[in-house]
């Protein structure tokens, strides 16, 4: 099977040979038969038409029309009519042109060149143009060059140079070197050529260029398929990431809702654990209530009182604040006035009596008589047994780190 450029070389060679033979027939007719035009000589006219007929129907080399039986039969009939003068050669030329256009489209379609385009969209567009028989062949060829060409083959001049080099190559190895040089440009871009070592080795091994191109196209399709699969997998990965983020966001929202619910329940429970307002007995807001600092101090520091004294508002706090102050004042007076201490009166024992009962007496030096009958006592230095409110507050703040205002 010939390579496409070998068919082109054969076409050019046979076309030139036919043109040379026709010129010889015309020259011989003018020389031997003294005719101004070959159409005036029946003998030379038959020879000229038969030579043109043989160009297509008896061609010794494989060309684009080889094997197109119906077309060749039609040409045979047309040449017979032209020989008799009933058909213009322009009609035959047009018929050959139309057939060659169809052959060109079929050839390009079967070569799978649309697979060599840069993207699937370009391949689809090129296939549509191949199917559109209204597009002129020259325009279609230009579209093909634009779709699959690059700087390596910039124009038709490069192809003509390629054909001239092949024409002069006498050995297969020389032809293979030309193929590699033109297709892969090793001297121009060694790095890129190294990527195609697989294909250059196939060419040097005698594999036809068409077979090498088929392998290249298959590899390209496989690479495109892998890239498309990679993009699909990447798309799925992005979807999974988005789904994961949405799931985590949903979990975070649910967790926050549970935390808010638990916080609300805890606040509600803590609110229920609080005693009512000491003034109006109203239920307290766990986030907004007031406490009596003096009552808290006396309870924490000295165990006095019956629990915390809390208020629901500033109003209740101001109305009731005089009560603990009054209690503190009463206690102070009770402890400091003569004979006022319950420890010295209600719970005290006469010192001589304690001695008689052999009870240890360790505070006699701290006492003095508070009555003439010497039956009541008081502290000789009461200030040593008292704690001022200021001192109590300071001691509490140092011990707990709290601030009382």
Residues 292-341 have pLDDT tens digits of 877 777 777 766 666 778 889 888 888 776 665 666 555 554 544 444 44
Give the pLDDT score at 214.
84
pTM: 0.48
Render pLDDT for 176-231 as a digit per residue (tens, 0 to 9).
888 888 878 777 778 777 888 888 889 888 888 888 888 888 888 788 777 777 88
Render pLDDT for 274-290 as a digit per residue (tens, 0 to 9).
788 888 988 887 778 88
CB atoms within 10 A of CB 310: 20
Q: Which residue has the tokens 């001049």?
A: 157
Q: What is the mean pLDDT of residues 342-365?
A: 56
Those residues with Cβ within 8 angstroms of residue 163's Cβ, 6 or more apart along the chain or in another chain: 5, 8, 9, 12
Backbone angles phi, psi at 301, to 5 degrees: -85, -40
Backbone angles phi, psi at 271, to 5 degrees: -65, -40
Distance from the Cα of residue 264 to its chain's centroid: 41
Does 78 score more than 90 pLDDT? yes
The number of C-alpha atoms within 13 Å of 373 and in the hemisphere containing its C-beta is 3
DSSP state of 37: S
| Per-state percent for the chain, helix, strand, coil, to nearest 5 | 70, 5, 30
Does 17 score more than 80 pLDDT? yes
Render pLDDT for 138-170 as a digit per residue (tens, 0 to 9).
777 777 766 665 554 456 677 778 778 888 777
CB atoms within 10 A of CB 38: 21
Give the pLDDT score at 56.
94
């Amino acid at each position: 099977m010939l390579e496409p450029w070998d068919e082109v070389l054969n076409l050019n060679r046979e076309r030139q040979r036919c043109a040379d033979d026709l010129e010889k027939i015309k020259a011989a007719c003018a020389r031997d038969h003294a005719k101004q035009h070959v159409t005036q000589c029946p003998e030379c006219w038959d020879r000229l038409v038969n030579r043109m007929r043989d160009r297509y129907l008896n061609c010794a080399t494989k060309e684009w029309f080889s094997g197109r039986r119906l077309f060749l039969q039609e040409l045979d009939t047309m040449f017979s009519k032209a020989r008799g003068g009933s058909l213009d050669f322009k009609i035959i030329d047009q018929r050959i042109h139309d057939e060659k256009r169809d052959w060109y489209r079929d050839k390009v379609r079967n070569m799978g060149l649309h697979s060599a385009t840069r993207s699937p969209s370009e391949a689809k567009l090129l296939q549509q143009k191949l199917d559109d028989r209204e597009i002129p062949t020259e325009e279609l060829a230009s579209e093909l060059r634009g779709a699959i060409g690059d700087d390596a083959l910039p124009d038709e001049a490069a192809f003509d140079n390629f054909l001239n080099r092949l024409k002069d190559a006498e050995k297969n190895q020389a032809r293979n070197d030309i193929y590699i040089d033109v297709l892969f440009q090793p001297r121009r871009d060694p790095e890129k050529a190294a990527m195609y070592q697989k294909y250059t080795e196939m060419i040097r091994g005698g594999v036809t260029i068409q077979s090498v191109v088929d392998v290249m196209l298959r590899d390209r399709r496989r690479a495109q398929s892998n890239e498309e699969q990679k993009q699909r997998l990447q798309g799925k990965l992005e979807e999974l990431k988005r789904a994961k983020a949405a799931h985590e966001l949903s979990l975070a929202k649910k967790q926050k809702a549970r935390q808010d619910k638990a916080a609300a329940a805890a606040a509600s429970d803590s609110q229920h654990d609080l005693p009512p307002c000491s003034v109006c007995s109203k239920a307290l807001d766990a986030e907004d209530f007031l406490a009596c600092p003096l009552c808290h101090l006396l309870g924490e520091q000295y165990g006095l009182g019956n629990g915390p004294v809390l208020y629901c508002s500033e109003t209740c706090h101001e109305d009731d604040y005089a009560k603990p102050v009054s209690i503190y004042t009463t206690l102070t007076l009770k402890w400091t006035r003569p004979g006022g201490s319950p420890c010295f009166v209600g719970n005290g024992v006469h010192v001589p009596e304690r001695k008689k009962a052999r009870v240890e007496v360790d505070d006699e030096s701290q006492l003095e008589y508070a009555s003439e009958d010497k039956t009541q006592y008081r502290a000789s230095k009461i200030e040593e047994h008292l704690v001022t409110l200021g001192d109590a507050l300071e001691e509490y703040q140092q011990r707990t780190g709290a601030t009382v205002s």
